[in-house]
Amino acid sequence: MNLPIPEFLAPTPVEGVLAALDRHPQATALEIGEQRWTLAELCAIAGGIAAALGPVRGARVGVLASRSLTAYAGSLAVFGAGAAHVALNPDNPAARSASVIEQAELQVLVVGEEALGLLAELLVLCPGVERVLLPQGEVPAALRLAHPGVQLVGAADIGLAPLSSPALRPDELAYLVFTSGSTGQPKGVAIAHGHFATYMHNFRTQVGAPEPGQRVATTYELTFDIALHDMLQAWWSAATLCVVPARQLVAPARFIRDQGIHWWFSVASAAMMMERQGTLRPGVFPNLRMSMLCGEPLPADTARAWALAAPNSPLFNVYGPTETTMELSFYRWTETSYAECRRGVVPIGLPFPGHSHKLVDEAGGEVQGPGVGELWLSGPQVGLGYWKLPEKTAESFLPGNPWPWYRSGDRVERDESGMLHFLSRVDHQVKLRGYRIELGEIEAALREAAGTSLVAVIPHPMRGGNAQGLVAFLAGEGVPDEAALRAALQERLPAAMVPDRFVLLDELPLNSNRKIDRGALAASLHG
């Protein structure tokens, strides 16, 4: 992964927080339900966790937590200790989290109380874990007895301490984000501090930054890289990070309104759900000052409804693969945007200044002028590649000058004005409720669960370019029933990746190349 690394154009994660701490120590930094912490309190808690982590400079440290003080202070502590951040979702199956721990070679974990049940399983599955911090609770006696070889550190042994920023090089690893992998194993996208600093600089100069005291909502789990964006954008500005409770994610309009949210960043499906629920009414969000929707195609009708609902907020349709550091292009909705939309979907805009893009057709040639092709991206936000997967990295990160080209896998149209419009994926990857899902990973788990190689998973139905669900097709003798298949997959995959329907066929249709005819399967659902 010897790829170019940009020079720092902005502070490192902790430096940006400490700069805000100097100006606004008593600003409310974090709000979870009725609990609030000032920036000074947050930094002291994170400093204590960082000290308790021990000598982890240059290592990877896992944060197994969700929507808790440990999740956010623990993440800040990892950066403060000079380690690379690796998020683990307590709601994911133990086998998937164990795969991440093993691939990232995690020896140290920061764990929230909400994840104690999963931790017990992971310590059995992952003998390489040597040290576990529980900043908000005490270590259960049964856990100590079961794992005498693991250093288990509870809250009583983790004090408060000043948070400091280590001197970091641009090429040092900042974080790994594990996305769905076609082999059945999640793959880690490696982002260096230089990439992240460049992104923060681009965002704050090209899009904007919260004002001190403004309220920034966060909807994402830590395993979604935008969670780090929300945290650090808020804290660099001495704004308040307001954690949306999981139960309100399906209907967040009341949270936005009642909590006086100023900054909102979510997947596009959140806005689509609000539109279907009838809560996206004109003028309903007068306090919003920034609205960003990402992760999947944004229908033009939804964008127009949101713009009317939040009349005091610009609306951006945001695009960017994880491999190019969070987000890379921001299209701002205006009164004339509806006419610029293609197929009822909002454009994805153009990459940040200093980045290049090109469209490549199926023959490998570059598309000149208006046309359709796979989007390739190059520039200082393009990441290091895939963690310890050199062959996969070589397939997706190609030589460029001075930056490598990243093959996004997104099929994109360039119109006569040069604007980019997302069309579809060129492979078997889809976006579902904002999450990038590799259908191959689901199929790998399904083959194992069903005892047959004759499986196919397709997105269905599709509305406005968005997958609304997944349907699994199977053929073969002795295939378990739907309940058994669903239960088996729930033990292997995150909930968002478990198909909504299972269809058993005598045989799967094949195309002229003797490959599974996915088009025929999709057509059968409309028959």
**pLDDT attached to residue 526:** 79
CB-based burial, 364-374: b 16+ in 10 Å, e otherwise: eeebeeeeebb
pLDDT, average across residues 182-207: 91
pLDDT tens digits, 99-134 = 999 999 999 999 999 999 999 999 999 999 999 999
Strands 470-475 and 131-133: unpaired
| For residue 518, pLDDT beyond 90 | no
Question: Beta partners for 192?
Answer: 173
pLDDT band at residue 448 under the 50/70/90 scheme: confident
pLDDT, average across residues 79-94: 96
**pLDDT attached to residue 181:** 65
Amino acid found at 190: A
**Domains along the chain with CATH numbers:** 13-201 (3.40.50.980), 215-375+392-425 (3.40.50.12780), 429-524 (3.30.300.30)
| For residue 171, pLDDT beyond 90 | yes
Strands 470-475 and 35-38: unpaired
pLDDT band at residue 441 under the 50/70/90 scheme: confident
| For residue 177, pLDDT beyond 70 | yes
- The tokens for 283 are 């003028």
List CB contacts of 255: < 8 A, sequence separation 6 or more.
217, 244, 245, 248, 261
**pLDDT attached to residue 443:** 87
**pLDDT attached to residue 8:** 85
pLDDT, average across residues 492-518: 84
**pLDDT attached to residue 458:** 92
Q: For the chain, percent helix, then strand, then coil, each to nearest 5?
A: 30, 25, 40
Helices and strands: H and E segment counts in the chain:
16, 28
CA atoms within 13 A on the CB side of 314: 11
pLDDT, average across residues 140-151: 96
pLDDT, average across residues 486-510: 91
| For residue 214, pLDDT beyond 70 | yes
pLDDT tens digits, 25-64 = 999 999 999 999 999 999 999 999 999 999 999 999 999 9
pLDDT tens digits, 223-238 = 999 999 999 999 999 9
Q: What is the DSSP string of 293-306?
A: EESS--BHHHHHHH
Question: 194 vs 179, which has greater pLDDT?
Answer: 194
pLDDT, average across residues 403-424: 94
**pLDDT attached to residue 210:** 98
pLDDT tens digits, 337-365 = 999 998 888 999 999 999 999 999 989 99
pLDDT, average across residues 182-205: 90
Share of the chain above pLDDT 90, in %: 78
Question: 313 vs 515, which has greater pLDDT?
Answer: 313
Residue/partner pairs of 182-185 with CB below 8 Å, 24 or more apart: 182/427, 182/428, 182/429, 182/438, 182/440, 182/441, 182/444, 183/440, 183/441, 183/444, 184/440, 184/441, 184/444, 184/445, 184/448, 185/99, 185/103, 185/441
| For residue 474, pLDDT beyond 70 | yes
**pLDDT attached to residue 430:** 81
98 in helix, strand or coil? helix
Say how far apart CA 279 and CA 253 lie, in whole Å.
7
pLDDT, average across residues 136-160: 96
**pLDDT attached to residue 429:** 74
Question: Which of 450, 431, 428 shows the shortest CA–CA distance to 439?
Answer: 428
pTM over 0.75: yes
175 in helix, strand or coil? strand
Say how far apart CA 352 and CA 359 lie, in whole Å.
17
Average pLDDT, rounded, for the chain: 93
